[in-house]
Amino acid sequence: MDKKMEAHAVSVFYGQTQALYDISLTIPARHVTALIGPSGCGKSTFLRCLNRMNDVVEDCVVRGSILLDGQNIYAPSVDTVMLRARVGMVFQKPNPFPKSIFDNVAYGPRIHGMAKTKADLEEIVVESLKRAGLWQEVKDRLHTEGTSLSGGQQQRLCIARSIAISPEVILMDEPCSALDPIATAKIEELIDDLKANYTIIIVTHSMQQAARVSQTTAFFHMGKMIEVGPTDVLFTNPKNERTQGYITGRFG
Amino acid sequence: MIDHKNRSFRRRHWRDRVFRRVAVGCVGFALLALLTLLSSLIAQGWGAFVSYSVEIQAQDIPPNLPSSDRAAVVAIITSFLQTPVTSKQDVIRLFGADAGSQLVAWLKQPQGPLRLRLSDDADMVLKHSYQDSPLKPEQRKILNDLRDLGVVRQHFNITFFTSGDSREPELVGIYSALVGSLLTLATAFVMAFPIGVMTAIYLTEYAKPSAWRTWVEININNLAAVPSIVFGLLGLSLFIQFLGWPRSTPLVGGAVLALIILPTLVIATTAALKSVPTSIRMAALAMGASKTQMVFHHVVPYSIPGIMTGSILSMAHILGETAPLLLIGMVAFIVDVPGGITEAATTLPVQIFLWSESPERAFAEKTAGAILVLLVFLLIMNAVAIVLRHRHQKTWS
Ligand SMILES: Nc1ncnc2c1ncn2[C@@H]1O[C@H](COP(=O)(O)OP(=O)(O)OP(=O)(O)O)[C@@H](O)[C@H]1O
Ligand SMILES: [Mg+2]
């Protein structure tokens, strides 16, 4: 199995407080990796390290190294703009731009100069909306505001937006936490389809969701990574007792 | 237990009711004050929009008029009257200072009836029929005769909107002052808007939090509270005495007003920028936008309604500004429409101030009329700001 990303001894500090301790984790390519753990254990923090969104958080210091295809993304020569074009992100709360559906999806291709002509751009937008499973619902109203969609549609729009720039890795921070079971099922299906082409890392609070969509699961607790392994093994036969406690619902 | 809850429940309701009544009372009082102001202004100022002329059909004009225009006017009028006029001066007194030139213009191009504007004193007598008029009894008699003959017509005072200041109340208009206001506001906007918006963008989006930034922000807030007359003094010494810009002009007036609105603009723009939620900024950055792309593709465009609202409100604020303009000499007597920002001009509120100092009774209604026009402009600007704010209010998901 290829390694897409590798974290080596990553520690993160918010000012004086340390949020992550020596995390080392390998993310396999074209694979869904789930990050689980109780609230405040540092899952989002770790996710933000992978596309350097922590750079914009005040007083946040990241130590250690993270490799993307063998290259350290924290090397001084790395441009965060380029990095984020390769590592996309979907947030917990849907956050479409207050622009049309079309412009939401077209934004990334536009700023990265991915489309030479208008037709190219339209093709990218349509293709992304189709892959995000939203095309059927919005094809007649591409020029209405993205914010006028329902929550689940907005989240799929955000996914369409992030896959429009053909990232290699997609980070998802609890993408279904604001959605109902039907919308959640749609997004899970989507994740399943996407893993053929993309490497996906998803933070989730739902064990069932982790079990359904991921192949690898990492369990975080109080800023440390306690256990990582194939999802079926981790859920049926956890080695660490804290993992066992968490997945059986005894704490967290 | 139940009893206790009931009691607290009743108390809460009672408080609710009291609060609501006080609030309604306050709103009612404010509305009443506004209504009083408006109705007294309208009562005083309606006369500014109405004026009187003597209207004479072409066939009624006697042939062989004297060559002097004033004498011709007198000849025309006396041909109508039954009783002979003892003094020509009595007729002249009833007509506006431009009646002679109105006749000359009509004679050159005799289309429709001849219209001769009445003087302000005659106008006042017709509007208010007051006793202590400066018109002599024989003059009032002539006026009454003319009215009985049915040649005195009331009409919309178009002159009020098409001419500039004048010594003669029947000839004054607000047009020059309006153009002066427009030029001054445009100058102020062009000077203050780019600087204000750029300052706000820099301070909120780029400047790192530091003691220096806090200091600048505090001082901008302080500047917003400085009385405007202080800016007038500053403008006098900086723009006129130091830089040598021409006094009494929209250039200097606009520069002073720009100083006055600059802090307000910065504060309004800052608020608009800050109202763009972090989640949108994060979305842009996570798409691979650079900081500047994030700011200029997202934060600034989404703030435009807020920035526009702030700009319009600050324009409305300086439209009524008077004191600092008095200091930089915009109190000149301006008859002609200013042709540019370096020509002497006056503004609407200054014009109002000047007229309010005039002793003639006719100026009182002109003052109130000009105030009404100013209020209408302010209302329009505020309405536009409100509509903008509602129409373009962003929903953020
Ligand atoms: N911007 C920040 N500034 C300071 N501390 C922060 C910041 N963001 C997170 N933290 C702290 O870092 C720790 C980890 O937070 P993080 O958001 O990564 O947790 P999480 O596992 O994603 O939790 P949740 O499941 O509730 O989202 C928490 O103790 C939190 O208080
Ligand atoms: Mg989180």
Task: Please write the tens of the pLDDT for every residue from A219-230.
Answer: 999 999 999 999
**Is B15 inside any structural domain?**
no
The C-alpha atoms of residue A42 and residue A220 are separated, in whole angstroms, by: 7
Q: What is the pLDDT of residues B49-84, one digit of tens each?
A: 999 999 888 888 888 888 888 888 888 888 878 777
In terms of domains, do B117 and B257 share one?
no
**Is A185 inside any structural domain?**
yes
In terms of domains, do B352 and B224 share one?
yes
More confident residue, B71 or A106: A106
The C-alpha atoms of residue B293 and residue A112 are separated, in whole angstroms, by: 11
* Domain enclosing residue B226, as ranges: 175-395
Classify burial at B392, counting beta carbons within 10 Å of its beta carbon; exposed 0-12, middle 13-18, buried 19 or more: middle
In the sheet that A32-36 helps form, which strands lie side by side, from edge to edge? Answer: A87-90, A169-173, A199-203, A32-36, A216-221, A224-230
In terms of domains, do B118 and B68 share one?
yes
Residue-wise over B58-87: b if at least 16 C-beta within 10 A, else e? eeebeeebeeebeebbbbbbeeeeeeebee
Q: How confident is the model at residue A122 (pLDDT cuts 50, 70, 90)?
A: very high
Q: How confident is the model at residue A252 (pLDDT cuts 50, 70, 90)?
A: low
DSSP reduced 3-state for B275: coil
CATH of the domain at A134: 3.40.50.300
**Is B29 inside any structural domain?**
no
In terms of domains, do B118 and B194 share one?
no
**Is B116 inside any structural domain?**
yes
The C-alpha atoms of residue B268 and residue B264 are separated, in whole angstroms, by: 6
CATH of the domain at B208: 1.10.3720.10
**Is A252 inside any structural domain?**
no
Average pLDDT, chain A: 91
In terms of domains, do B141 and B202 share one?
no
The average pLDDT across B19-36 equals: 95
CA distance A141 to chain B (A): 17
**Is B250 inside any structural domain?**
yes
**Is A48 inside any structural domain?**
yes
DSSP reduced 3-state for B150: coil
The average pLDDT across A57-61 equals: 89
Q: Is the pLDDT of residue B28 over 90?
A: yes
Compute chain A's Rg from CA coordinates. Answer: 18
pLDDT for B1: 62
Which amino acid appears at position B363 of this protein? Answer: F
The C-alpha atoms of residue A121 and residue A58 are separated, in whole angstroms, by: 36
Looking at B123, B157, B191, the residue that finishes a domain is B157
Instruction: Give ipTM to 2 decimals.
Output: 0.91
Residue of chain B whose alpha carbon sits nearest to that of A154: B397
Atom 7 in ligand 1: which residue has the minimum CA distance?
A14
DSSP string, chain A: --EEEEEEEEEEEETTEEEEEEEEEEEESSSEEEEE-STTSSHHHHHHHHTTGGGGSTTEEEEEEEEETTEETTSTT--HHHHHHHEEEE-SS----SSBHHHHHHHHHHHTT--SSHHHHHHHHHHHHHHTT-HHHHTT-TTSBGGGS-HHHHHHHHHHHHHTT--SEEEEESTTTTS-HHHHHHHHHHHHHHTTTSEEEEE-S-HHHHHHH-SEEEEEETTEEEEEEEHHHHHHS-SSHHHHHHHTTS--
Residue B340 to residues B57, B240, B254: CA-CA distances in angstroms? 41, 17, 12
Decide if B235 contacts B259 (C-beta within 8 A): yes
pLDDT for A203: 96
| Number of residues that this document lists for chain A | 252
In terms of domains, do B254 and B364 share one?
yes
In terms of domains, do B186 and B319 share one?
yes
Handedness of CA B132, B133, B138, B143 (dihedral sign): negative
Average pLDDT, chain B: 89
Decide if A198 contacts A131 (C-beta within 8 A): no
Predicted TM-score (pTM) of this structure = 0.85
Residue window 299-328, chain B: list those with CB within 8 Å of chain A: 302
Which residue, among A107, A145, A158, would best test binding to B if mutated, counting the most B CBs under 10 Å from its CB?
A107
Parallel, antiparallel or unpaired: strands A199-203 and A32-36: parallel
**Is A243 inside any structural domain?**
yes
The C-alpha atoms of residue B386 and residue B212 are separated, in whole angstroms, by: 35
Residue A1 has a CB neighbour count (10 Å cut-off) of: 10
Looking at B101, B128, B157, the residue that finishes a domain is B157
Instruction: Tally the C-alpha atoms within 13 A of residue B108's C-alpha that lie toward its C-beta.
Output: 7
Domain count, chain B: 2
Residue window 148-207, chain A: list those with CB within 8 Å of chain B: 148, 154, 158, 161-162, 165
pLDDT for A213: 94
Q: Measured at the alpha carbon of residue A172, what is the angle toward residues A167 and A175, in degrees to the nearest 5?
A: 130
**Is A216 inside any structural domain?**
yes
Q: Is the pLDDT of residue A180 over 70?
A: yes
What ligand is nearest to the CA atom of residue A42?
A: 1
CB contact under 8 A, A162 and B287: yes
In terms of domains, do B221 and B314 share one?
yes
Q: How confident is the model at residue B397 (pLDDT cuts 50, 70, 90)?
A: low
**Is A171 inside any structural domain?**
yes
CB contact under 8 A, B287 and A154: no
How is residue B71 written in tokens? 């004498």
Which amino acid appears at position B252 of this protein? Answer: V
Domain count, chain A: 1
Number of inter-chain CB pairs under 8 A, A vs B: 70
CB contact under 8 A, A98 and B287: no
A92 touches chain B (CB under 8 A): no
**Is A65 inside any structural domain?**
yes
Confirm or reject: Cβ of A42 under 6 Å from ligand 1.
yes
Confirm or reject: Cβ of A20 under 6 Å from ligand 1.
no
In terms of domains, do B375 and B278 share one?
yes
Handedness of CA B278, B279, B280, B283 (dihedral sign): positive
**Is B42 inside any structural domain?**
no
Decide if B286 contacts A162 (C-beta within 8 A): yes
* Domain enclosing residue A97, as ranges: 3-247
Q: How confident is the model at residue A251 (pLDDT cuts 50, 70, 90)?
A: low
